[in-house]
Structure 1
Amino acid sequence: MSKRQSAKYKIDRRLGQNIWGRPKSPVNKREYGPGQHGQRRKSKVSDFGTQLRAKQKLKGYYANISEKQFRRVYDEASRMKGSTSENLIGLLEARLDAIVYRAKFVPTPFAARQFINHGHIRVNGTRVNISSYRCKVGDVVEVRERSRQLAIVLEAVDLAERDVPEYIEADHTKMTARFARQPAFADVPYPVQMEPNLVIEFYSR
């Protein structure tokens, strides 16, 4: 369903990690970057390079959202009380596309964005077609009734490669999901190690 499949796999190869844990990721076979120079010997990465890579990985995971949008989320997280790293993850996981993906209504974050844009999702009974929509604790997200038998939805529900996290209460018989609580960083089931502390360092320079 996602028209950005090739871009998605380029992100995996550029970072050298299967950041969504998908079995079809090319990194599973080729752990080097794309292009004719992908296999060249890697030089030592600077602190800035390490921080930049951490930011690219986290931003890429959430369907490669724009730098402007990602920076806006960081700025909001930094103004909130408590740990900026925890706040950043909590805000990212409260995005509607993240919840749709976590609830296993679609197979990838890219598909979640497109699924929402096409009007297949309702929040508290109202259709929402903005993937960056911020859900509140207690909000109920549901797949529109006439969209529940789409092949992409049926495929996602049966995926064995990931489970619905505890902070999402999903009911696949009714195709609903309740955002039960804002998660801590340790609650989020990333397939690879994320380092939000390095993201904070990158923006704090």
Structure 2
Amino acid sequence: MSRFTGPRLKIMRALGLDLPGLSRKSMESRPTPPGQHGAKATRRRKSDFGVKLQEKQKLRFNYGLTERQLRRLMIDARRGKAPTGETLLQLLERRLDNVAFRAGFAPTIAAARQLVSHRHLLLNGRSVNIPSMRLRAGDSITLKASSLQLPLVVETLKDLPLTRPEWLSWDEQQHTATIAHLPAADDVPFPVDVQQVVEYYANRI
């Protein structure tokens, strides 16, 4: 399954919450699910499978992953000694495109991914173009000097989509973000029951 390229607000309405990595828009003015019978759908009780699927979709759409990518991350999370759910969320937060977004270089993760793909970003002083790279504590990211003048970057730095997390250290003069320590599960900027995601993949991997 490829990445979603349709209306992002529609996805957030279907899932019932704002996803900052997916869009800067808010579903506040239209909180009901999409469709002719959206208002009635809010009263329906979801099945156990429906709940698990919804929690999984929150992660997939916010971080802009394909189903295959999320499945691979779950496999990697299982290999660690820490709880699988916590490890999965940490792996998602450590992705280069997400760190660029959380640093304030782009308004969404999709926009941050494009910055990385077009080699606007420097990781520890070196040009990179792989959005899925996993950063470690002590890694620093910044934009090339010319890229700091991009209108999208200038506007986003003036009006951050999210407050920078405490696990990121920000140098205002150099416009550099450094990972002070690895993110925790509760650093994810939206509510998610990750145990439901673990159970969703229990019999699928």
Normalised to the residue count of structure 1, the TM-score between the two structures is 0.88
**Runs of at least 5 residues in structure 1 that lack an aligned partner in the other structure:** none
Q: Quick one: structure 1 residues 169 and 149, their matched pair in 2 at CA, closer, same or farther if it must change by over 3 Å?
A: same
Q: How many residues align?
A: 198
Per-residue deviation, 1:114:
1.2
Note if contact 1:107-1:156 (Cα within 8 Å) is conserved in structure 2.
yes
Gaps of 5+ in 2: none
Between the aligned partners of 1:153 and 1:105, the Cα distance in structure 2 is: 5
Deviations 1:64-108 (A, max 9, x none): 210100110111001111111111111111100110011111111
Cα deviation for residue 181 of structure 1 reads 1.4
For 2:14 and 2:104, locate their aligned partners in 1 and report how far apart those are by CA, in whole Å. 26
1:141–1:178 CA contact under 8 A, matched in 2: yes
Say which SS state the counterpart of residue 86 (structure 1) adopts.
helix
What is the aligned-residue identity percentage? 38
Which residue matches 2:111? Answer: 111
SS in 1 for 2:178: strand
Q: Secondary structure at the match of 1:173?
A: coil
Greater shift in the superposed pair: 4-13 or 64-73 = 4-13
Structure 1 CA distance for aligned equivalents of residues 18 and 98 of structure 2: 18
Matches within 5 A, 1:182-197: 182-186=182-186, 188-190=187-189, 192-197=190-195
Q: Counterparts of 1:161 and 1:19 in 2: how far apart (Å)?
A: 11
What does 1:93-132 align with in structure 2 at a 5 Å threshold? 93-132=93-132
Q: Which residue of 2 aligns with 1:52?
A: 53
Contact 1:105 1:175 in 2 (8 A): no
Question: What is the alpha-carbon distance in structure 2 between the residues aligned to residue 160 and residue 127 of structure 1?
Answer: 24
Alignment TM-score, normalising by the size of structure 2: 0.88
Distance 2:76 2:188 in 1: 23
Q: Distance in 1 between matches of 2:160 and 2:100?
A: 17
Offset of residue 44 of structure 1: 1.4
Q: What secondary structure sits across from 1:39 in the alignment?
A: helix
Equivalences for residues 112-191 of structure 1 within 5 A: 112-159=112-159, 162-186=162-186, 188-190=187-189
**2:202 aligned residue:** 204
